[in-house]
Amino acid sequence: KSKRRRIKRRDDDRQKRKRGNERRKAGTRAGDGEEDLWGVAEKRERSKRKRQKNKQETSRREKNEEEEVQVTSGKAAKARKNIKNEKTRRMEKEEVEENIEKGKKKYGSAKIGEVKEDGGKQLEKAQEVKKKKHKKVETSSELETSEEDDDEEEDTEKDEVRPECLSPEELEKLKEAVDERKKLIQGLRGKPWSMKKKLVTLRESQEFVEKYEGALGKGKGRKLYAYKVMMTKKWMKFQRDFENFKTACIPWEMKIKEIESHFGSSVASYFIFLRWMYGINMILFCLTFGLVMVPEALMGRPYGSIPRKTVPRAEEASAMDFAVLWDFGGYAQYSVLFYGFYNNQRTIGWLKFRMPLSYFLVGVGTVAYSYMVVIRTMARNANESGVGDDNSFNFSWKMFTSWDYLIGNAETADNKFASITTSFKEAILEEQESHKDDNIHLTRFLRVLANFLVLCCLAGSGYLIYFVVRRSQKFALDGLENHTWWERNEVNMVMSLLGMFCPMLFDVISTLENYHPRVALQWQLGRIFALFLGNLYTFIIALMDEINLKRKEENTVKFNITMWEASLYNGTVSENSTAPPITIQPADVPRGPCWETMVGQEFVRLIISDTMTTYITLLIGDFLRAVLVRFLNYCWCWDLEAGFPSYSEFDVSGNVLGLIFNQGMICVFDQMGSFYAPCLPALNVIRLHVSMYLQCWAVMCCNVPQERVFKASGSNNFYMAMLLVILFLSTLPAIYTIVSIPPSFDCGPFSGKNRMFDVIHETLESDFPAWFSKVFSYASNPGLVLPFILLMVLAIYYLQSTSKSYREANVELKKKLQMQNEENKKKNKQAALKAQMDLEARQTAQAAEQQRNNNASLQDQEGHQMPATRDPGSRTNNHGNHRPSGYLPGFTQQSEPRLSRVPSLQRN
């Protein structure tokens, strides 16, 4: 503590020196002015106690100081009581300086050490006094506490001053004072004071302004002024409230902030990503819901009107069972949720809503929208990042930027502290190793080994999925009813389990590689990405097989249907030719397998099972574990919380990838999915909504902050890039199915057409004027399309090359700036060196000169007292006097403030 105090004093001293004479003058002027202003009030209302104290102070000072100083101090004391602005403080400092000088003079050429000792004694005394008076001693310097003392009394005094009974010129002065305060508040940020002092000054000034601002002006003007002031205040408050309101409107903002404060920004970035995803899915959901599902439900033909909208007779008995509904069969299958329900009527309802066209366009639109959003976000993120270079000032960066100021939790702060320390250690080690680089082969070997192991894992899981899919096809051929629930859901189960456990294994393997956690996270993400993608593609390939199977089945069914119709027709003809045609229940009509609905069902099931696994893992792996650890810890032989099982950490990479993977599936379905199951975005929105709350809760309740909390600065774009890739990869099979496979003949909005995109042709032909379709056919002519594509490629190339040149220019500029900085630094250094040399030369010269004077002054020490002067020049000279020739400047600075403190302490 004492050290801190000393440093503070030194700072004060330096301040004093820096601002020289003029401040001093200003100080006295202001002091006088204020004194006049407050003279009136003082006379009226000064309390007795106050006066007493004043007397005490002055008397105490009299003992120590000479008469000349007394006068100033008296002034200062008065002023201090009334005004607390910094100028008074300066005045005090001024006194303090005088005291130093005096002290110096008194002791003459006696050694500084003695002076120090004496000062120390006085300091102790002062502290005793202070303890009696005041409780807050800890950090505030003595000067400030003394002032605070005064402030308290002052406040009581102030309350009694009524602005109404002041004369005009007093008011004028008051106004000036208020203005001054305002100016002070504005310029406070730039003042070279300690934070504490700034805060105190700010608070005081604000109080002052608040109190007297409204009182200014007179009569009508005063009222208007007061009104204006009030309104501005109200307006400011409203603005602040509005800002708060805006923040409150951002969904989950507070939750995410809280998590960020506990777990650092990397975990928070996941939740921000989740929210972003939620927003996008909301829009997708609105598109599909508003343009496809609702119109069909409201205006399309009702359930049971045509065969594709009714449950077939064979399934009717079990169509409402929960098990069937849970598998999205039965009534769920024959509803707006799936592709097969939609009719191929060109327009529906009185609005003439073009359903098939809308269906197609929504599918294309969702994908286009996803792409657009992702690319736009990526571009924006790229602008933000990518400026700093990481390698040049490694340690400085670590030193000054590694603290995460968003952390608001003691444990996380501990972790962060530890992680910064370890990162420093590691960086130092790395630096050493980069010079040695003997271990590089081992690291390389380990990294290759790790990648090899991961590849093995991937291959193994791929094979397992392939095996399972093959088996499930066999089951499907046998008929699903003969098998257990486990066997029927094997594919989904295995996929979810692998998706859950393999990342854990990767995580363990990646410890071999010894990367920085940020890099490790990216590797981890990449690997899980590969895993998920592999799984997804195996799944899709298996689906393709199934689609082909269904199409073969379809052909046979088609043939059967024609036979059936023929027999029906023949039957009616043979029975009675005049009878009305027999009405057949739509449930009895035989129908094709409708592979689109099957695909949709599969994907929906996958998403559901995936979500369930996530939640169940969350509950078992996190919550149950946390509960066990927490409560078993009371009766266990080792510390479960800190040691072996511990609480789980939040797994950023796995969660992020789960999200991305699901989004990819949505988009496969937005072609395959919003195509084949329009309910998918809705399901996803629900899923995201629930998982937002559930994961927020789980994170806060059963996870511990990661051991190495790190900033996830650049990784957001990494997520985006991955999202883009998976979007692209998952649209591929969708586009393939749309382009190459003809839609089923008896279900869905495109039934009866050769290809799904024929819808556009049809619309162009029938809904637009002839010239438009002509123009369109010209435009789609390859002779026009190819040059256009060529032009686009050229434009892209041009833009890319310009951006590259800009980047180069940027780098050049940065280099230039750096050079300039270095040059400046060098110059400054040289100047400083030169000044120091000069100073030293002067000092030695002076010391030599003063040596003689000192000898003389030693003899007549008692009687000799120099007059106290206000000239700073002479003061520095005096300093020079008492400095032994080899004395370091830093030391004198340290000892001086200690002296300077003494008189101000004694006043207390």
If binding is defined by CB under 8 A, does position 467 make contact with other proteins? yes
123 vs 640, which CB is nearer to other proteins?
A: 640
> Is-contact 664 727, C-beta < 8 A?
yes
> Is-contact 534 647, C-beta < 8 A?
no
Give, rounded to a whole angstrom, the gap between the first and last alpha carbons of the chain: 21
What region does 386 belong to: left with phi over 0, alpha with psi -120 to 50, or beta?
A: left
Task: Say how far apart CA 744 and CA 754 lie, in whole Å.
Answer: 9
Residue 774: how many CB atoms within 10 A of its CB? 12
Stretch that binds other proteins, among 34-42, 597-605, 631-639, 675-683 (CB under 8 A): 631-639
Mask of contacts with other proteins, 500-519, x by CB under 8 A? xxx-xx-xxx----------
If binding is defined by CB under 8 A, does position 651 make contact with other proteins? no
Task: Say how far apart CA 212 and CA 765 lie, in whole Å.
Answer: 80
If binding is defined by CB under 8 A, does position 458 make contact with other proteins? no
If binding is defined by CB under 8 A, does position 471 make contact with other proteins? yes
If binding is defined by CB under 8 A, does position 498 make contact with other proteins? yes
Q: How far is the CB of 488 from other proteins (least distance, A)?
A: 10
Stretch that binds other proteins, among 106-114, 179-187, 464-472, 896-904 (CB under 8 A): 464-472
If binding is defined by CB under 8 A, does position 395 make contact with other proteins? no
For the chain, what is the total number of helices (H) and then of strands (E)?
Answer: 33, 2
> Is-contact 778 784, C-beta < 8 A?
yes
Residues constituting the chain? 908
Specify the DSSP element, H or E, that contains 704: strand 703-704
If binding is defined by CB under 8 A, does position 520 make contact with other proteins? no
If binding is defined by CB under 8 A, does position 642 make contact with other proteins? yes
362 vs 469, which CB is nearer to other proteins?
A: 469
638 vs 771, which CB is nearer to other proteins?
A: 638
Measured at the alpha carbon of residue 324, what is the angle toward residues 532 and 328, in degrees to the nearest 5? Answer: 45
Stretch that binds other proteins, among 210-218, 641-649, 829-837, 872-880 (CB under 8 A): 641-649
Task: Say how far apart CA 521 and CA 515 lie, in whole Å.
Answer: 9
Task: Say how far apart CA 402 and CA 711 lie, in whole Å.
Answer: 8
463 vs 772, which CB is nearer to other proteins?
A: 463
If binding is defined by CB under 8 A, does position 637 make contact with other proteins? yes
Specify the DSSP element, H or E, that contains 796: helix 782-859
If binding is defined by CB under 8 A, does position 806 make contact with other proteins? no
Task: Say how far apart CA 893 and CA 6 lie, in whole Å.
Answer: 10
344 vs 472, which CB is nearer to other proteins?
A: 472
If binding is defined by CB under 8 A, does position 638 make contact with other proteins? yes
Take residue 404 and report the two structure tokens written for it.
């995460």
> Is-contact 557 592, C-beta < 8 A?
yes
Take residue 683 and report the two structure tokens written for it.
């399901």
Take residue 508 and report the two structure tokens written for it.
């363990």
- DSSP-assigned states of every residue in 459-498: HHHHHHHHHHHHHHHHHHHH-GGGS-HHHHTHHHHHHHHH
Q: How far is the CB of 9 from other proteins (least distance, A)?
A: 23
Stretch that binds other proteins, among 76-84, 481-489, 532-540, 791-799 (CB under 8 A): 481-489
Stretch that binds other proteins, among 491-499, 694-702, 749-757, 791-799 (CB under 8 A): 491-499
Q: How far is the CB of 48 from other proteins (least distance, A)?
A: 37
Window 691 to 730, contacts with other proteins (CB under 8 A) = none
Which of 148, 149, 253, 487 touches other proteins by CB under 8 A?
487
If binding is defined by CB under 8 A, does position 486 make contact with other proteins? yes
Q: How far is the CB of 329 from other proteins (least distance, A)?
A: 22
Stretch that binds other proteins, among 105-113, 555-563, 637-645, 871-879 (CB under 8 A): 637-645
Q: How far is the CB of 164 from other proteins (least distance, A)?
A: 50
Take residue 371 and report the two structure tokens written for it.
């792409």
Specify the DSSP element, H or E, that contains 649: strand 648-649
Q: How far is the CB of 505 from other proteins (least distance, A)?
A: 4
Fill in the amino acid letter for 300: G
> Is-contact 273 260, C-beta < 8 A?
no
486 vs 771, which CB is nearer to other proteins?
A: 486
Task: Say how far apart CA 859 and CA 879 lie, in whole Å.
Answer: 20
Alpha helices in 703-781 (DSSP H): 715-740, 758-767, 770-779
Fill in the amino acid letter for 575: E
> Is-contact 325 604, C-beta < 8 A?
no
Mask of contacts with other proteins, 404-443, x by CB under 8 A? --------------x-------------------------
Which of 468, 606, 656, 747 touches other proteins by CB under 8 A?
468
If binding is defined by CB under 8 A, does position 71 make contact with other proteins? no
If binding is defined by CB under 8 A, does position 484 make contact with other proteins? yes
Backbone angles phi, psi at 353, to 5 degrees: -75, 125
> Is-contact 181 187, C-beta < 8 A?
no
796 forms beta bridges with: none
Stretch that binds other proteins, among 219-227, 484-492, 832-840, 900-908 (CB under 8 A): 484-492
If binding is defined by CB under 8 A, does position 490 make contact with other proteins? yes
Site for other proteins (CB under 8 A): how many residues? 31
525 vs 667, which CB is nearer to other proteins?
A: 525
If binding is defined by CB under 8 A, does position 624 make contact with other proteins? no
Stretch that binds other proteins, among 13-21, 220-228, 635-643, 734-742 (CB under 8 A): 635-643
Task: Say how far apart CA 474 and CA 471 lie, in whole Å.
Answer: 5
96 vs 457, which CB is nearer to other proteins?
A: 457
If binding is defined by CB under 8 A, does position 633 make contact with other proteins? yes
If binding is defined by CB under 8 A, does position 773 make contact with other proteins? no
Which of 321, 588, 639, 838 touches other proteins by CB under 8 A?
639
> Is-contact 500 517, C-beta < 8 A?
no
503 vs 600, which CB is nearer to other proteins?
A: 503
If binding is defined by CB under 8 A, does position 473 make contact with other proteins? no
Q: How far is the CB of 695 from other proteins (least distance, A)?
A: 21
> Is-contact 621 628, C-beta < 8 A?
no
> Is-contact 349 298, C-beta < 8 A?
yes
Stretch that binds other proteins, among 362-370, 487-495, 590-598, 662-670 (CB under 8 A): 487-495
Q: Which residues bind other proteins (CB under 8 A)?
A: 418, 457, 461, 464, 467-468, 471, 484, 486-487, 490, 493-494, 497-498, 500-502, 504-505, 507-509, 633, 637-639, 641-644
